[in-house]
Amino acid sequence: MLAGAALLVFGYAPLLRGIAAFLVVEDFLEPASAIVVLGGQVPFREMEAARLYRAGWAHRVVTIRPSQQQEQRALQKLGVAVQGGWELSHAVLIRLGVPSSAIILPREEAEGTLEELQIAAQTLQPNGTPVILVTSKYHGRRVRLTWRYVTGGRSRAIVRLTPQDPFDPERWWRERRSALSVVREYLGLLNYYAGFPIPGHKGSYGKT
C-alpha cells in the first residue's frame, strides 16, 4: 500500500507542480504610485515592501487593518492587550527604514484579499498609475486578478513576491500548511471567476 501510494504521488508530481506553478506570478518592477503590503506572513511581506521602498520604486507604503476576530474582541473585553497584525506590520516597516510619514494606514478594516484591495484602491485612487502589490508566492495570480476587478482595469498591478516565503511549488503537497494555502487559493479563484458570490467589502472603487 505504501509503495502504491508513493508511485501515485510521484507519478502525479508534474501535475502537482503545475497546479502550484499556475498560482505563482510576478511582474517586472517599474516606478509606482504606492506599495501595498497584503496582510499575512509578517514579517516576510514587509521585508520585501521595505526593500522596494528603499530602492525608490514608490514613496508610499500602504498597510490594511485586518478585521478583529471574536477571540481578539473577547480578549479586549477582558482587558488583555492584543497587538494587531497591522501593528506588527508597521513596526517591521519602521525597523527596516520606512519612515512613519510614508506609511498609510486606512481606518477601514478588511477581511480577505478582496476587501484589502478595495480599501487600498479607495485610499490611493490610482487612476492610470500602477501600484506594487506585495504578497506571497501562492497568492500572486489571485492578487493580480482581484486588483483588475477592483479597479476596473484603470490601474495595473505590479505583483511582487517575497523571497523569504517558504512556499515551495516543487513539493507543496508534502507540507500541510502549503497544501492548505493552495486549496484556499483555488477556492478564492473560483469565487473570483464566479463574480464574488461570497461578498467582500461593501464600498466601491472611486468612492471614499
> Could you give the percent of the chain with pLDDT greater than 90?
64
Does 73 map to a domain? yes
CATH of the domain at 101: 3.40.50.620
Does 15 map to a domain? no
Contacts with 152 (C-beta within 8 Å, 6 or more apart), sequence order: 205
pLDDT at 51: 97
Give the pLDDT confidence of 41-80 residue by residue, as tens digits. 889 999 999 999 999 999 999 999 987 656 655 656 666 6
Give the pLDDT confidence of 109-154 residue by residue, as tens digits. 898 899 999 999 999 998 889 999 999 999 999 999 999 999 999 9
When pLDDT is cut at 50, 70 and 90, the band that residue 38 belongs to is very high
Put the strands of the sheet holding 103-104 in their side by side order: 103-104, 61-63, 35-37, 131-135, 157-161
Average pLDDT, the chain: 86
How many separate domains does the chain show?
A: 1
For residue 7, pLDDT beyond 60: no
Please tell me the distance from the alpha carbon of residue 103 to that of residue 12, in angstroms, as a whole number: 45
Does 14 map to a domain? no
Longest dimension (CA), the chain: 60
Does 177 map to a domain? yes
pLDDT at 113: 94
User: H/E element holding 132?
Assistant: strand 131-135
Question: What range defines the domain where residue 61 resides?
Answer: 22-193
> Model-level pTM?
0.86
Which among 86, 91, 95 is positioned nearest to 67, based on CA atoms? 86
Please tell me the distance from the alpha carbon of residue 183 to that of residue 92, in angstroms, as a whole number: 29
Does 204 map to a domain? no
Neighbours of 113 (CB within 10 A): 25
pLDDT at 37: 97
Task: Let me know if 194 is exposed, middle or buried by CB neighbors in 10 A (0-12, 13-18, 19+).
Answer: exposed
Contacts with 141 (C-beta within 8 Å, 6 or more apart), sequence order: 22, 23, 24, 25, 185, 189
